[in-house]
């Protein structure tokens, strides 16, 4: 019984560190002032991997960000659709 828990704990720690690194890199990219087409492509890639991150890079922490977190929790695909829509609408 202890082995599956260790595997779960290892996977969970790995995913947590992956998303922390991804968020850190996204914030660094947000402050770099990259050209708009490059940043748009990166936002869409982030929207597919982690939808709230794409919305955060587009509008910041506003109601659309919180709505996207809710949609992502309720279903990953609605979160992606909403994130891509927000990015397309604001570009």
Cα–Cα dist 36/25, whole Å: 17
Distance linking the first and last C-alpha atoms of the chain:
51
Number of domains in the chain: 1
Please give the residue range of the domain that contains residue 29: 2-90
**60-90: per-residue pLDDT in tens?**
889 999 999 999 999 889 999 999 999 999 8
Alpha helix segments (H runs only) across the chain: 2-32, 36-49, 51-59, 63-74, 76-90
Q: What is the pLDDT of residue 33?
A: 63
**27-44: per-residue pLDDT in tens?**
676 666 666 777 888 888
Cα–Cα dist 46/65, whole Å: 14
Q: What is the pLDDT of residue 36?
A: 72
Angle at 13 between CA 11 and CA 77, to 5 degrees: 70
**42-63: per-residue pLDDT in tens?**
888 889 999 999 999 889 889 9
Cα–Cα dist 85/7, whole Å: 37
pLDDT at residue 17 greater than cutoff 80? no
pLDDT-derived band of residue 1, with 50, 70 and 90 as boundaries?
Answer: very low
């Amino acid at each position: 019984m202890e082995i599956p828990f260790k595997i779960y704990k290892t996977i969970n720690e790995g995913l947590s560190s992956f998303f922390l690194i991804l968020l850190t890199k996204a914030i660094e990219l947000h402050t770099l002032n990259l050209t708009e087409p490059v940043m748009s492509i990166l936002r869409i890639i982030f929207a597919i991997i982690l939808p709230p991150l794409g919305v955060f890079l587009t509008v910041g922490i506003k109601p659309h960000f919180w709505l996207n977190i809710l949609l992502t929790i309720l279903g990953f695909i609605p979160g992606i659709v909403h994130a891509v829509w927000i990015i397309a609408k604001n570009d």
